[in-house]
Amino acid sequence: IDDVKVLHEENRKLEDMLNKEHERHIGQLRTLEEEMDSQVARVEAKAREDARQKFEGEKRTIVKKMESEIMELQTHLRLFKKVNNVLSEGRDKNKYKEKDFEESEEELRQLKLMLADKEANLAILGAEMGQLRAEYEDKCSQLNSQSVALSHYQNQTDQIHHKLRMLQRANNKLQDTNDSLLMIMDTGGRSPLCYSTASSVESDEHLRKPKWAIMDHRTPSPHSMVGENNYYICVPEYTSEYDAADSGRSTLREQLDYELDNRCYIETSRNSDGEYQNISLEEQSCSNGVVIRQLDSSLSHISVFSDLEPTG
C-alpha cells in the first residue's frame, strides 16, 4: 500500500509536470502566432504603403513633366501661329520680309523636331509607367503568396491545438481510470492476489504496467512457500525509462496491455506451479520490445510540440 501511495504521488507529480509543460507550449504557440500575425500585418501594410507612395510619387513626377512639356509645346505653337500669321499678312505687303519668313520656317522645323523629341520622351515615359505597373503587380503577387503562407501556418497551428486538446482529454480520462483502479486496489486488496516476483520472470513485466495489475490467487509451490503470508497484492513499479516517460497516461499501450493481461491470466489458469515458473524469457523480451517501440513512437509524437520554441 505504501508503494501504491508512492506511485500515486509520482503519477500526480508527473501529471503536474505534463500539465505545466502543456500550458507552457500553448502559451508559446499563442505568443508565436500573435507575433507572426503582427509581423505579417506590419510587413503587408508597410509594403502596400511603400508601393503606393512610390507609385503616386512617380505618377506625380510624370504628370508634372507632361504638363510642363505640354505647356511649352503650346507656347511654341502659339508663337508659331503668331509668326505664321504675321508672315502671311506681311508677305503681300512687304517682300523684303522673305528673309524673316525663312527664319520662321527654320524655327518651325526646329519646333517640329522638338515636338517629335517630346513625343519620343512621352513614349519612353509611358514605357516606364508600364514597368512601374508591372513592379506594382509583382509586389501584389508577393503579398498574396505571403497571405497564402500565413493561412497555411494558421491551419497547422489549429491542427496542433486540436491534437493538444485531444491529448489532454485522453490524459484526463486515463487519470480518472488510474485513480479508480488505485482506489480499488486500496479498498479491496485482500481478495485478489497474485504470485511472487521470485516465482516468474513474467511478473516483472506486469508489475511495470501502470494501467492495471493482474490478480491471480494461486496455490503456493514448495519453492515459493515461506509462510502463510506468501501472497501479496501486485503493486506497479517504474523500472524502465520508457515506463517513466509514459506514466500510464498514454493511449498507445491500452490495447497491448489488455492483450498481455488476458494472455497472463489464461496461462496462469492452465499451467501448474512448475510450468508457470518456466515461462520463456524470449516471449517476455519480445513483448517488452513491442511496448518500447510503442513508447518510442509516442515520444516521437510528443517531441513535435517541444520543438515549437519561439525564435525571437
The tens digit of pLDDT for each residue in 94-146 reads: 676 677 778 888 888 999 999 999 899 999 999 999 999 999 999 999 999 99
The C-alpha atoms of residue 212 and residue 233 are separated, in whole angstroms, by 12
Q: In terms of domains, do 148 and 70 share one?
A: yes
Phi, psi of 308 (to 5 degrees): -85, 65
Asked if pLDDT for residue 179 goes beyond 60, the answer is yes
Q: In terms of domains, do 179 and 259 share one?
A: no
More confident residue, 309 or 91: 91
Residue that terminates a domain, selected from 132, 160, 183:
183
Residue 118 lies in a domain: yes
Residue that terminates a domain, selected from 134, 156, 183:
183
The C-alpha atoms of residue 159 and residue 167 are separated, in whole angstroms, by 12
More confident residue, 118 or 278: 118
> Structural domain of residue 126, as residue ranges?
2-183
Asked if pLDDT for residue 218 goes beyond 60, the answer is no
Q: In terms of domains, do 147 and 213 share one?
A: no
Q: What's CA 28's distance to the chain center, in Å?
A: 12
Q: In terms of domains, do 207 and 114 share one?
A: no
**What DSSP letter does each residue of 207-274 carry, written as one string?**
HT-SS-------PPPTTT--STT--B-------SHHHHHHTT--GGGHHHHHHHHHHHHHHHHHS-HH
Residue 96 lies in a domain: yes
Asked if pLDDT for residue 164 goes beyond 70, the answer is yes
pTM here?
0.25
The C-alpha atoms of residue 32 and residue 24 are separated, in whole angstroms, by 12
Asked if pLDDT for residue 275 goes beyond 60, the answer is no
**What DSSP letter does each residue of 130-167 carry, written as one string?**
HHHHHHHHHHHHHHHHHHHHHHHHHHHHHHHHHHHHHH
Mean pLDDT for the stretch of residues 245-255: 43
Residue 107 lies in a domain: yes
Residue in the block written with cell 497564402: 148
Which pLDDT band holds residue 90 (cuts at 50, 70, 90)? low
Asked if pLDDT for residue 17 goes beyond 90, the answer is no
Q: In terms of domains, do 105 and 220 share one?
A: no
Q: In terms of domains, do 141 and 247 share one?
A: no
pLDDT of residue 256: 42
Residue 311 lies in a domain: no
Give me the torsion for CA of 43, 47, 53, 55, rounded to 10°: 180
Q: Over the chain, what is the mean pLDDT? A: 69
DSSP SS3 for 190: coil
More confident residue, 296 or 125: 125
Residue 64 lies in a domain: yes
Most confident residue range from 90-99, 195-204, 268-277:
90-99
Residue 312 lies in a domain: no
Q: In terms of domains, do 158 and 210 share one?
A: no
Instruction: Give, to the nearest 10 degrees, the angle between helix 98-187 and helix 281-306.
Output: 140
Mean pLDDT for the stretch of residues 8-25: 86
Residue in the block written with cell 516521437: 300
Q: In terms of domains, do 168 and 269 share one?
A: no
Q: In terms of domains, do 284 and 208 share one?
A: yes
The tally of domains found in the chain comes to: 2
Q: In terms of domains, do 259 and 156 share one?
A: no
Q: In terms of domains, do 205 and 86 share one?
A: no
Which pLDDT band holds residue 181 (cuts at 50, 70, 90)? very high
Mean pLDDT for the stretch of residues 23-48: 87
Most confident residue range from 23-32, 153-162, 182-191:
153-162
Which pLDDT band holds residue 92 (cuts at 50, 70, 90)? low
Q: In terms of domains, do 158 and 206 share one?
A: no
Residue that terminates a domain, selected from 166, 183, 200:
183
Return the C-alpha cell found at 60: 506625380
Mean pLDDT for the stretch of residues 53-72: 89
More confident residue, 261 or 216: 261
